[in-house]
Amino acid sequence: MKRPDPNSVKRIACIGAGTIGGGMIAQFLASGYDVTAQDPGPNARDSLERLLDQAWPVLEQIGLKEGASRDRLRFTSDIEEAVSAAEFVQESVPEDLELKVSIYEKLDELVPPEIVIGSSTSGFPMTEIQKRCKFPARTVVAHPVNPPYLIPLIEIVGGEKTDPAVLDWAAAFYKVVGKRVLRMEKEIYGFMINRLQIALFREALQMIAAGQATVAQIDDCLTHALGLRWACMGPFATFHLAAGDRGLGSFMDLHGSVEWRAPYVTETPLPDWTPELRERILQQAEEIIEGRTIPQMIEERNETVIGLLKLRETSRINAAKGE
């Protein structure tokens, strides 16, 4: 059984053409693929065209790849027609587990076993989705971030019966598409993006419910503070800079037993703070520090934040002018 070369795929089937499915369709078209979209909804085709009308100017600004064209899109309500001759299948049907299981059972019959099938599910583990498949080894979660044609990251992770070689194939394929691939080693509900996103949202809901904050205040905390920092570096790199010239290890020693276990953390219990965990964090942090000095990282952060502030102000001025 030989799979198509991930660098040479030409024909893609997209099952489901809603917000996420349509966004993936836009990305695939902009990357120069022939795409057959399938959705049984009565207004699905019109909705997809409206989404493409919105997405295509954005994709033109980002830069279309050779051969990119909306003319390479075909639409059908028939799933068998959609997957005929497809070299990859992207499933993006609504977040209903039984619906996904039944769709995968059908795709399993229609699609040759060497063809990889990826799911845009935002939370269900592939182990549950692939449970009625005869060929579960070729199934993988490929969870994009909305809107998929604009946000580059995609999370990929297999189920219990997924072949590791399929994860290698999917990682290579999505890199060709233009995605930044986050390959997860362990399967968890919600994957990484939504686990982090929901943890923050849960804290926001707690504060609003208690009358401690408003929606506007929460948004300000993100758009004018944390979001600006996180646009250029994540929490560990941020904390690396928070201890002056002493770095992440010093920050964790000073704050690990206090801030990260504070009484205002409302839900998820924190892991035991052990020397082994501290050392693991420091070793893994070297991957994001990449040999840069703290002054170098501060300069990069400052330039990025200044650029974002200027860009946001320009966007607001243009919006006020109606441009």
pLDDT-above-70 percentage for the chain? 95
CATH 3.40.50.720 fits 11-191, yes or no: yes
pTM above 0.85, yes or no: yes
> For residues 69 and 71, what is the distance between their CA atoms, to the nearest angstrom?
5
Mean pLDDT calculated for residue range 26-43: 97
Mean pLDDT calculated for residue range 175-185: 96
The reported pLDDT for the residue numbered 262 is 56
pLDDT tens-digit readout, 45-56: 999 999 999 999
pLDDT tens-digit readout, 84-96: 999 999 999 999 9
Position 70 pLDDT exceeds 90: yes
Token pair for residue 167?
């994860």
Across the beta sheet with 180-183, the strand order is 73-76, 34-38, 11-15, 88-91, 117-119, 139-144, 153-158, 180-183
> For residues 238 and 301, what is the distance between their CA atoms, to the nearest angstrom?
9
Position 289 pLDDT exceeds 70: yes
Q: Could you tell me which residue, 317 or 49, shows the higher pLDDT?
A: 49
The reported pLDDT for the residue numbered 255 is 65
Task: Give the residue from 137, 114, 113 showing the smallest Cα distance to 126.
Answer: 137
The reported pLDDT for the residue numbered 259 is 53
- Provide CATH 3.40.50.720 ranges for the chain: 11-191
Band (pLDDT 50/70/90 cuts) for residue 63 is very high
The reported pLDDT for the residue numbered 246 is 84
Using DSSP, state whether 189 is helix, strand or coil: coil
pLDDT tens-digit readout, 246-282: 888 888 887 665 555 555 555 666 777 788 988 999 9
The reported pLDDT for the residue numbered 267 is 60
Average pLDDT, rounded, for the chain: 92
The reported pLDDT for the residue numbered 196 is 92
Mean pLDDT calculated for residue range 173-178: 97
Band (pLDDT 50/70/90 cuts) for residue 245 is confident
Q: Could you tell me which residue, 263 or 220, shows the higher pLDDT?
A: 220
Position 119 pLDDT exceeds 60: yes
Position 145 pLDDT exceeds 90: yes
The reported pLDDT for the residue numbered 268 is 63
Mean pLDDT calculated for residue range 219-231: 92
- Which residues are CB-contacts of 212 (< 8 A; sequence separation ≥ 6)? none
The reported pLDDT for the residue numbered 315 is 87
The reported pLDDT for the residue numbered 107 is 98
